[in-house]
Copies of this chain bind each other. A is one copy, B any other.
Amino acid sequence: MDLRIEAALSYDFDAPTDLLLQVELARAAGQNIVEDALFTTPVEGFVRIDGGSAFGTRAWMQAEGRLDVTYRAQVTIDRPDPDWAALTANPPRTMTAEATSFLMPSRYCPSDEFEAFVWAEFDGLDGGARVAAMRDWIEGAFRYVPGTSNSATTARESFVQRQGVCRDYAHVMIAFARASGIPARMASVYAPDVDPPDFHAVAEVWLEDAWHLIDATGMTTASRMAMIGIGRDAADVSFLTSFGMARMVGQKVDVRPV
């Protein structure tokens, strides 16, 4: 699948403010970037660094006043949708050091609290079958309601309140997987099926020695996602992290098949 992506952000900064921007597509297996370009109004000290998980790109910069950012890209996605029924779990002691780190609880995914629930609810299911059952459970139990969660909302609150947006669905999915002994992390992506159009967040789980994307909202699937960045949870993959006061003026994401 070929996608054309355009993302535009506008923010106001009253004082010189350091910020971390994470909107560029990752050079990664399964996606080939045909062309892309990032434009910003003038900033100080622009420097690109690697993403937080040896994957993706982040950019440090310092802005003051109005900052307009535009990112345009064309990408070819060549990634199969996982056949969940066929995927087996890695026993813990076959996990890489990197995968092992994604077993641990994180800011928004306190997976240690979900062990009793997942073992009771998904008992008898392993590997991909379990992941698929957990995904279906979340999609069935939750309602997608913008405005019901905020930047303090963790998987604990989302699980109780049974509502939220893509990041909340992903956090619960990640918490369930880790509580089941399956490494899981968060991916920020562009996808053409997201409604309303926006940056999207999904989970990625470690099965059979590889990472597999999964969207608990049911909006899209792995073969239709262009990946931006990877992290433990939303704390790691925000498209903009500001170290000082920032006021959003506008934001527009447009992703369409070409």
The residues of A with any CB-CB pair to B shorter than 8 Å are 18, 20, 45-47, 49-52, 58, 60-62, 91-97, 100-101, 104-107, 110, 112-117, 120, 141, 143, 150-152, 156-157, 159-163, 181, 231-232, 235-236, 241, 243
Contact = CB atoms under 8 A, between A and B. Distances in A.
A93 B52 contact: no
Contacts of A47: 93-94
A162 B241 CA distance: 21
A156 B114 CA distance: 12
Given A106-B106, A235-B106, A236-B104, A93 B160 contact: no
Contacts of A163: 116
A89 to B, nearest CB: 11
A46 B91 CA distance: 12
A235 B105 contact: yes
Contact of A117 (B45, B92, B104, B160): B160
A113 B18 contact: no
Contacts of A152: 112-113, 157
Contact of A100 (B20, B97, B100): B20
Copies in the complex: 4
B150 A160 contact: no
A62 B45 CA distance: 50
Given A20-B92, A52-B97, A159-B160, 9 more contacts: A104-B231, A104-B236, A106-B107, A107-B110, A113-B161, A114-B161, A120-B143, A156-B156, A181-B243
Contacts of A114: 160-161
Given A104-B107, A105-B107, A51 B97 contact: yes
Nearest to A51: B97
A96 B48 CA distance: 10
A186 to B, nearest CB: 12
Nearest to A143: B116
Q: Which 3 A-B pairs have the closest CB atoms?
A: A60-B93, A18-B92, A50-B97
A201 to B, nearest CB: 15
A69 B203 CA distance: 36
Nearest to A154: B110
B101 A52 contact: yes
A234 B90 CA distance: 24
28 contacts: A18-B91, A18-B92, A20-B100, A46-B93, A47-B94, A49-B97, A52-B97, A52-B100, A52-B101, A52-B104, A60-B92, A60-B100, A101-B236, A104-B232, A104-B235, A106-B106, A107-B107, A112-B151, A112-B152, A113-B160, A114-B161, A116-B162, A120-B141, A120-B162, A159-B159, A159-B160, A160-B160, A181-B243
